[in-house]
Amino acid sequence: MQKKITIIDYGSGNILSAQQSFIKVSQEYEINAEVKISNNHKDIKNSTHLVLPGQGAFLSCMNGLKNTPGIIDAIYEFAQIKKHPFLGICVGMQLLAEDSEENGNHKGLGWINGNIKALPKKNLKMPHMGWNITTPCNTLSNNLISQKEDFYFVHSYYFKCRFRENILAETLYGITFPSIVAKENIYGVQFHPEKSSSQGLKLIKSFLTK
């Protein structure tokens, strides 16, 4: 059966880079897949997997979703009602939270309980940029990684989950923060798998098996 992956176009994120990484995974692992960039409701409805990238400030990304007619309803039906696999990347992950304190207080999608908080500076450079170790902390079968891996990060805020069960992996930068979150079919990664070499591709492959 062909997998139909849609990278959601709402004016934010490394959309072309994300698309190319999913295409590369499907080719290298011989996965029969079609990878589209789209905000068309029909494309979303017919997808098997959705990817929400994100880059920049939380509010601008949230406004990008709100200003794309019908997109929030379409992705809600896909992920929350039909329970199909959904992946948020970087700010796309943060949008899954209830709210964010970045530049004020702003509501998110509220799909995973928790809030977006500023990383404490603690004499560390901000943003947290570059390679860092991600350590699995939840051995549930829905985990996206099975061992410690290096991934590429660019962020100054983190997802403070309300429930420990939603944290699949953690990373240390001043504090230990969730770097992979999940709730049922909904996943979020704080790093950029599309910029994370072979381990990023392996994570994408794991997502495509969901």
Residues with Cβ within 8 Å of 141's Cβ and at least 6 positions away in sequence, in order, are none
Looking only at the bridges linking them, the beta strands covering 106-107 and 99-100 are antiparallel
CA-to-CA dists, residue 132 to 29, 52, 139, angstroms: 26, 22, 20
How many other CB atoms sit within 10 Å of the CB of residue 4?
16
The residues annotated with a catalytic role in the active site are: 90, 192, 194
Helices 15-28 & 197-208 angle (0-180, nearest 10): 80
